[in-house]
Amino acid sequence: MILPIIAYGDPVLKTKAREIPRDYPNLGEFIQNMFETMYQANGVGLAAPQVGRSLRLFVVDASPFDDEDPKLKDLKKVFINPVIVEKWGEEWLFNEGCLSFPDLREDIYRPSNIRIKYHDENFQLQEEEYDGISARIIQHEYDHVEGIVMVDRISPLKRRLIRNKLLNITKGKVHADYPMKFPLKKK
Ligand code: NI
């Protein structure tokens, strides 16, 4: 089932999400819906708060980037209750997009390397290291479960310059090819 994606301006995107218990009802179905929703929107990552559920879960599929790095083909995963335990390496700039911000892209600095602990879909604990684009995507999605969105990572000056653009996103005066919910859209 395709879920509507919540646009910037909704408090759920600014809320630190809660941990998912092992017996969370219909978790498998929710994960399936997350992937389906991400694919139909042509995204490479999607976090649960972006579909209105304040839970520590995100999905990624980096295969659209595999021409840049062949190992990205295998990065199709769900991260449950993730914790980034370490970040290191030089901060580098990448032009990021986000399904909650249609028509907006921003250059964001992030460290090159991370180590992350999480539970997989079978609630097995995993610990892995990532670099490059995969570390980039994972850090972006991890921010979502922490209640941080990409415009929180740009300078206050830059944020002021795009204030109207952001307001238009919140009001739904923006084009998206996928179902969305806009907090200030007039019915
Ligand atoms: Ni995002």
The reply to whether 70 falls in a domain is yes
The reply to whether 12 falls in a domain is yes
The backbone region for 26, taken as left when phi is positive above 0, alpha when psi lies in -120 to 50, beta otherwise, is: left
Distance from residue 100's CA to the centre of ligand 1 (Å): 6
* Whether the predicted pLDDT of 129 surpasses 80: yes
The 8-class DSSP code of residue 59 comes to E
Model pLDDT for residues 27-53, shown as the tens digit of each residue? 999 999 999 999 999 999 999 999 999
* Whether the predicted pLDDT of 74 surpasses 80: no
Helix (H, G, I), strand (E, B) or coil at 116: strand
Q: 104: how many CB neighbours lie within 10 A of its CB?
A: 18
* pLDDT given for residue 51 in this prediction: 98
Distance from residue 106's CA to the centre of ligand 1 (Å): 11
* pLDDT given for residue 50 in this prediction: 98
- Do 110 and 92 touch, CB atoms closer than 8 A? yes
* pLDDT given for residue 7 in this prediction: 98
Model pLDDT for residues 76-117, shown as the tens digit of each residue? 999 999 999 999 999 999 999 999 999 999 999 999 999 999
Q: Taking the mean position of all CA atoms in its chain, how far away is CA 123?
A: 20
> 135 CB contacts (<8 Å, ≥6 apart)?
110, 111, 112, 113, 114
**In the structure, how many helices (H) and strands (E) does the chain have?**
4, 7
The reply to whether 110 falls in a domain is yes
Here the CATH number for the domain that contains residue 27 is 3.90.45.10
Distance from residue 118's CA to the centre of ligand 1 (Å): 19
Identify the bridge partners of residue 58 per DSSP, sorted by sequence position: 47, 79
The sign of the CA dihedral 133, 134, 137, 142 is: negative
Residue with tokens 């990552």: 45
Distance from residue 142's CA to the centre of ligand 1 (Å): 9
The residues placing their C-beta within 5 Å of ligand 1, an ion, are: 98
User: Which residue in 29, 129, 141, 146 is the catalytic one?
Assistant: 141
The reply to whether 35 falls in a domain is yes
Please, what is the average pLDDT of the chain?
Answer: 95
Q: Which range marks the domain in which residue 103 is found?
A: 5-181
Global pTM? 0.96
Whether 91 is catalytic is no
Q: What total of structural domains would you count in the chain?
A: 1
Model pLDDT for residues 148-160, shown as the tens digit of each residue? 999 999 999 999 9
The reply to whether 157 falls in a domain is yes
What does the block give as tokens for 9? 């301006």
- Do 84 and 114 touch, CB atoms closer than 8 A? yes
The reply to whether 115 falls in a domain is yes
Which stretch of 37-46, 63-72, 112-121, 158-167 has the lowest confidence by average pLDDT? 63-72
The reply to whether 121 falls in a domain is yes
